Amino acid sequence: MAKDYIKLSKEWFDKQAPVYDETDTILYSKFGKISCQYIYEYLKNKDYHNLLDIGCGTGYLIQMLSKEKEAEYIGLDLSPQMIQQANHKNIPNAKFIEGRSDALPFEDNTFDVVTCSQSFHHYPETNPPLQEALRVLKKGGLYILSDTGVGPFGMVGVKLDDFFYRCFATTGDCNISYLKKMKKDMMKNGFEIVEAKKVTTFIYAIVGKK
């Protein structure tokens, strides 16, 4: 029987939520914090009025950004327990809601910026989340994706990771990609690539423009 990756991801992050921020390990927030730091630095001097963070978790990125810039922030996550943790932070001008990346509950052309940090590898399909991110962005808006999948062995390592997670993991990981492939996927789905880089050995970041 095929795995229900959505259900597995929800259960995994519901369990992690109460201790996610303070548990600074690979299976918890370590890589997430690295990706959030990259996004924070990239947006620090950018002009935007509203931002959607897909796979927002505990609201870690939105909390960072809100201290730097006053804007309207919306965080969306599959896990109700993560949303609960985010709401407990009482971040000004921030709203957190449950939802899926492949069916965003927003109108077309809504956001100046859409972000996605360390969440994409939990998405069973690549194209629908990218199409949804593009749809809700305003013309000229930015989509910033940072995820795990560079690795020291290039595509071979990525494919081995992808096979392992799809076959054996119970964490909901199911879409291990790599920089070049994700860049092509974003272009295929209508994004103009502004920046694509290796952040650390295992983490990449891509900025796309609508």
**Of 182, 184, 164, nearest in space to 174 by CA:** 164
pLDDT at position 31: 82
User: 51-74, pLDDT tens digit by residue?
Assistant: 999 999 999 999 999 999 999 999
- Do residues 142 and 42 touch, judged by C-beta distance below 8 A? no
Nearby residues of 93 by Cβ (< 8 Å), 6 or more positions away: 66, 70, 71, 72, 73
pLDDT at position 79: 95
- Do residues 195 and 206 touch, judged by C-beta distance below 8 A? yes
**Three-state SS across 115-148?**
EEECCHHHCCCCHHHHHHHHHHEEEEEEEEEEEE
Q: How confident is the model at residue 12 (pLDDT cuts 50, 70, 90)?
A: confident
Higher pLDDT, 193 or 19: 193
pTM of the model: 0.91
Indicate the DSSP class of residue 191.
Answer: P
- We find that the CATH architecture of domain 5-209 is 3-Layer(aba) Sandwich (3.40)
User: 77-127, pLDDT tens digit by residue?
Assistant: 999 999 999 999 999 999 999 999 999 999 999 999 999 999 998 888 999
Higher pLDDT, 131 or 124: 131
Q: How confident is the model at residue 7 (pLDDT cuts 50, 70, 90)?
A: confident
Domain ranges of the chain: 5-209
Q: How far apart are CA 81 and CA 83, in angstroms?
A: 5
Q: Residue 44 is encoded by which pair of tokens? A: 């620090």
User: 182-208, pLDDT tens digit by residue?
Assistant: 999 999 999 999 999 999 988 999 999
User: 160-179, pLDDT tens digit by residue?
Assistant: 556 555 555 566 566 677 78
